[in-house]
Structure 1
């Protein structure tokens, strides 16, 4: 074979890299068990219990067993409390349970809160036979109008597992689209529309707003566009800060940081804005957030808002809070209750009927 005909030899080099990780973590959730008519529950004999409604934590159903006179004769002077599976689990679920008497703000009272050891749940429950001495509960400031509440926190421990964490040859960072759009809003580069909100001028980009809101899309490019040809659009009945927060969500798909003392009121306004501009994801985010912010000062206004904007989950959460007599008495002293009675008399009647029927 001549030199011209000699085969060409190539050497290919490849790189191999691998990594793994041991992964562990927890899933948490809580349930509030309201005991209304406590003195009547004490008529049950020792060993008899009342079950809560089922609730979901970690993708599984759970219930609480409440024994007003203890679960056995030796514990007859105590309230016994247990977490039980709402259905038999095919595989054991490892979890800790924390039970606590709560105050009017629905915060656990540290001196009356107990946490279990780690337990594997299958079909049987786990908790405390001596959760609280009954005479101590009878004298507690948190037992008001024959009503008290127990909070049950469930901390589920995920199964420890090993995952492949092989590194790719090229490390691709996570999406930063929201950062670029946020910068676009902040710099106002290419902005082509201005809103006047209570005298304050706020600029934005029509195409971005239209992509995020069906109302803005109709206003700029659809049936309403004749009325939106002006480069300056007047926004009625909205505070500038609320409109700015709405713009922040439109560009970044997230709520801005809010001061804790102003959070509930601002999220209420944001829910109204979300409904006004048909932004369903933002509306659901606000509804979920408000469910965690219900207290004496916010319950009435939040209930009115839920009724006006068809937020059924939020409405039920407010109703559950107000069904406790001590909470209702406190809420009735607020300006928000006067507001509720004036604009939503029907929902007030509905609340009263639920209280009378219990």
Structure 2
């Protein structure tokens, strides 16, 4: 009798896929008399006409004076679910886009919002810092008017569907940053040259303008510079400008030596503020927060105050609340620089930190017998 086969036959199997039934739609809100909407009050909003997507009524809320005191310099937009509210709420995601004069979305001011469940307890979702008021007025308000578009997707139902067991081909991650970085390196199609110190850099106006409202104004605005002979950049070291260009094209910082990171973060923070690169500014704030110590906390506070870096400022305050840190810093030269540069900040510092430090019990000295 022949030996039994050791192989086993594969068992029967199947796969299924969860499919979401969705409804999509869009609405454009035109703010016709923009100047008349100003001074509406912080936290107050004006709603668009209601529109229907997925069987539910929605509206766009426009906060001309910001959501709260911290964001009073920004324009906020929110998406509201109008009543009646279903018992289980409504799941939806949306995209807000500021439209240019041709009716096209402005990439820098196009925001995608993740899936959110709207209920009677939380009927709105939006962005408190959609665009700074000054940027909106300088670049996008035309004839006292501007437009914003909302693209909305509403999830109606999620159901299982039987599928074949064949795997879908893997989609590689985006490598757009590599292509743009290669464009910067190759200089192909470059149409503007910057002179920084002894170095020169070739770049592409449209890429710079897409990423920075300051470059947009300088290169394409009414007061644009004459770039035929190049643009001279003063008050910035060439390697800082080069690192900033790398970020503009790739959305990432270039590789750095560990010993240079703090210095580069300080100078890139200034550059990011100068060219309104908010993501780069936040990255540098986060980096500098990890380097705070007794030697640099005072000068870091000055920098944070001058550039309106609230997160970095709070990190410095937190460091100074630690036992002994405030007294040690007050005896340093950096603290004298802080008092001379930002006297009001010193008042805030003492009001916030000193009570916390002074509230700690002082150890009792042993009594001599």
TM-score normalized by the length of structure 1: 0.50
Query: Which residue of 2 is the match for residue 222 of structure 1?
Result: 221
Cα shift at 1:312: 1.3
Q: Which moved more, 1:211-220 or 1:330-339?
A: 330-339
CA distance in 1, matches of 2:301, 2:175: 37
Matches within 5 A, 1:299-310: 299-310=297-308
Matches within 5 A, 1:92-103: none
Secondary structure at the residue paired with 1:202? strand
Q: Structure 1 regions of 5+ residues with no counterpart?
A: 1-15, 20-165
Secondary structure at the residue paired with 1:228? coil
Cα shift at 1:302: 1.5
CA distance in 2, matches of 1:272, 1:167: 53
Cα shift at 1:330: 4.0
In structure 2, relative to structure 1, the CA distance for the partners of 1:204 and 1:324 (3 Å cut) is: same
In structure 2, relative to structure 1, the CA distance for the partners of 1:245 and 1:169 (3 Å cut) is: same
In structure 2, relative to structure 1, the CA distance for the partners of 1:199 and 1:340 (3 Å cut) is: farther
CA distance in 1, matches of 2:276, 2:321: 32
Q: Structure 2 regions of 5+ residues with no counterpart?
A: 1-12, 17-164, 357-369
Secondary structure at the residue paired with 1:258? coil
Secondary structure at the residue paired with 1:275? helix
Cα shift at 1:224: 2.5
Secondary structure at the residue paired with 2:173? coil
Cα shift at 1:223: 2.1
TM-score normalized by the length of structure 2: 0.49
Cα shift at 1:332: 4.5
Query: Which residue of 2 is the match for residue 286 of structure 1?
Result: 284
CA distance in 1, matches of 2:209, 2:166: 39
CA distance in 2, matches of 1:231, 1:194: 8
Query: Which residue of 1 is the match for residue 271 of structure 2?
Result: 273
Query: Which residue of 2 is the match for residue 242 of structure 1?
Result: 240
Cα shift at 1:295: 1.6
Cα shift at 1:338: 4.1
In structure 2, relative to structure 1, the CA distance for the partners of 1:336 and 1:231 (3 Å cut) is: farther
In structure 2, relative to structure 1, the CA distance for the partners of 1:329 and 1:356 (3 Å cut) is: closer
CA distance in 2, matches of 1:286, 1:17: 50
Cα shift at 1:17: 9.5
Cα shift at 1:233: 0.5
Do the aligned residues in 1 keep the contact of 2:192 with 2:227 (CA within 8 Å)?
A: no
Structure 1 runs (4+) deviating above 6 angstroms are 16-19
Query: Which residue of 2 is the match for residue 326 of structure 1?
Result: 324
CA distance in 2, matches of 1:273, 1:261: 20
Cα shift at 1:329: 4.1
Residue correspondences, number: 198
In structure 2, relative to structure 1, the CA distance for the partners of 1:208 and 1:355 (3 Å cut) is: closer
Query: Which residue of 1 is the match for residue 335 of structure 2?
Result: 337
Do the aligned residues in 2 keep the contact of 1:301 with 1:340 (CA within 8 Å)?
A: yes
